[in-house]
Amino acid sequence: MAGAADKAVERLAQRLVLPAGPTPAGPLRLSWLDRYPTQMALIESLHVFKPDPARDGLGLSPPRVIEAALAAALVEYYPLAGRLAVSEESGELQVDCGGGGVWFIEAAVRCRLEDVDYLEYPLAISKDELLPHPRPRPSRDEEDKLILLVQVTTFACGGFVVGFRFSHAVADGPGAAQFMGAVGELARGGGRITVAPAWGRGAVPDPAGAAVGALPEPDGAARLEYLAIDISADYIDHFKSRFAAATGGARCSAFEVLIAKAWQSRTRAAGFDPATPVNLSFAMNARPLLHSRLPRGGAGFYGNCYYIMRVASTAGKVATATVTDVVKMIKEGKKRLPSEFARWAAGEMAGVDPYQITSDYRTLLVSDWTRLGFAEVDYGWGPPAHVVPLTNLDYIATCILVKPWAHKPGARLITQCVTADRVTAFHDAMLDIN
């Protein structure tokens, strides 16, 4: 069994990786949605890769392979090597493509991945040791300008963990995964990126007078407890079958089933008064709605392009409904996407900000990571065993749907949505299939 000393992360090197070839300079304009205040954060995640015996004998170093592929990918994704800056002319946030470079950190741990349970929660190694934090630590002002930081930590078994910190102002989830996939393509020996990136920020609406919110403050909100739940394929199929039987054969998605179940289970566990208004918020990809405006119909576009849909009800109705009925509520909400997005784009939302994130305990914020592409990224050692999304806002009720362990059917729910005293009730309600 590995001791604490064996789990210590040794930082071997840090450097700025520049594009491997010449790139354009100068500023690039960000879209309205890119500039939205809540995007001013570095989204953090850990990607765990098991060793591949077939590659161990080739003498290939994951950090070296990934660093070289990163430099090559930055030739086309050159804005990611830039810095966020404020335009002197417009006062708006933009990207300065002056070639500042991407921070790349190489690290190592003496234990095996299995000794730390493949970074299952609770993490046996601090996330900040596995995430890229340059030393000396940049000031808050300096860090706010960074767009991408990468750390590759190798383990004694030959496996490795890639830690990313990615600016939400420059890429949304699908965009970040698209870039990682391009790095993987080059790392596996591809001569070029199959789908070239497209900037195209002018295609995203810039509604006149659109309301703009801010990142919510804790304001005394209680800390919410982390809980990861693995869901089997049989569990998902059970509720899909119930939905089909109750609707004459209609279909629903795993996302709809699991989010309906999570919203209902959380509502029950929280013990709200039946008359309490409760809300479910989830991001939907808006690329299909802007197909004709985006360059190449959206192929390669990696900027923020989503809309937050909201479903409202009362605690009593959500708690006592069947899962099928809650799925119907979510489906009705999703149907509103084209009309609501069009109204927002036309500036007709009358001061309502659909992108506002709230710390109101009555609202559950949901993210679906299963279709973003992170689970398919392959640097030559196969796709990740699992992906660990990280959150620093433990006072906002969240639920993230991710793919389970590789080759294991089903799904995984990573939640931080109830207080510690309600976790058992929430967990039990999630597992109840009656």
Residue 305's φ and ψ, nearest 5 degrees, are: -155, 75
Q: Give the pLDDT score at 208.
A: 82
- Residue 231 sits in the same domain as residue 188: no
Contact, 324 vs 246, CB < 8 A?
yes
Contacts for 36 with CB less than 8 Å, ≥ 6 apart: 212, 304, 355
CATH code (residue 56): 3.30.559.10
pLDDT band at 58 (very low <50, low <70, confident <90, very high): confident
Total domain count for the chain? 2
Q: Give the pLDDT score at 2.
A: 65
Answer yes or no: is 63 within a domain. yes
Instruction: Output the six-digit token pair for 216.
Output: 């919510």
- Residue 266 sits in the same domain as residue 361: yes
Q: Residue 295 in 3-state DSSP?
A: helix
- Residue 193 sits in the same domain as residue 50: yes
Looking at the predicted structure, is the pLDDT value of residue 1 above 60?
no
pLDDT digits (tens, 9 = 90+) for 122-178: 889 999 999 999 999 999 999 999 999 999 999 999 999 999 999 999 999 999 999
Contact, 305 vs 286, CB < 8 A?
yes
Answer yes or no: is 360 within a domain. yes
Contact, 231 vs 259, CB < 8 A?
no
| Residue 168 falls in the annotated catalytic set | yes
- Residue 237 sits in the same domain as residue 192: no
Instruction: Output the six-digit token pair for 123.
Output: 């993490």
- Residue 299 sits in the same domain as residue 244: yes
pLDDT digits (tens, 9 = 90+) for 355-410: 998 889 999 999 999 989 999 999 999 999 999 998 777 889 999 999 887 667 89
CA 196 to chain centre: 22
Contact, 126 vs 79, CB < 8 A?
no
Answer yes or no: is 1 within a domain. no
Q: Give the pLDDT score at 407.
A: 66
Of 360, 378, 394, 427, which is the active-site residue?
378
Q: How many CA atoms lie within 13 A of 154 on its CB side?
A: 17
pLDDT digits (tens, 9 = 90+) for 290-330: 999 999 999 999 999 999 999 999 999 999 999 999 999 99
Answer yes or no: is 205 within a domain. no
Answer yes or no: is 356 within a domain. yes
Q: Give the pLDDT score at 394.
A: 84
| Residue 325 falls in the annotated catalytic set | no
Answer yes or no: is 259 within a domain. yes
- Residue 174 sits in the same domain as residue 239: no
- Residue 193 sits in the same domain as residue 234: no
pLDDT band at 220 (very low <50, low <70, confident <90, very high): low
- Residue 105 sits in the same domain as residue 232: no
Q: Which of 391, 367, 369, 387 is nearest to 378 (CA)?
A: 387
Answer yes or no: is 420 within a domain. yes
Give CA–CA dist 37/35, Å, rounded: 6
Q: Residue 255 in 3-state DSSP?
A: helix
Q: Give the pLDDT score at 428.
A: 97
Q: What is the mean pLDDT of the chain?
A: 93
Looking at the predicted structure, is the pLDDT value of residue 182 above 60?
yes
- Residue 174 sits in the same domain as residue 247: no
Instruction: Output the six-digit token pair for 86.
Output: 């404020």
Q: Which of 30, 48, 67, 38 is nearest to 148 (CA)?
A: 67
Region of poorest pLDDT, from 54-58, 207-211, 255-259, 276-280: 54-58
For the chain, what percent of residues have pLDDT higher than 90?
Answer: 85
- Residue 328 sits in the same domain as residue 369: yes
- Residue 258 sits in the same domain as residue 139: no
pLDDT digits (tens, 9 = 90+) for 68-107: 999 999 999 999 999 999 999 999 999 999 879 999 999 9
Q: Give the pLDDT score at 199.
A: 97
Range of the domain at 305: 225-431
Q: Which of 352, 356, 333, 332 is nearest to 344 (CA)?
A: 352
Pick the last residue of a domain from 147, 177, 197. 197
- Residue 192 sits in the same domain as residue 259: no
Of 168, 172, 368, 386, which is the active-site residue?
168
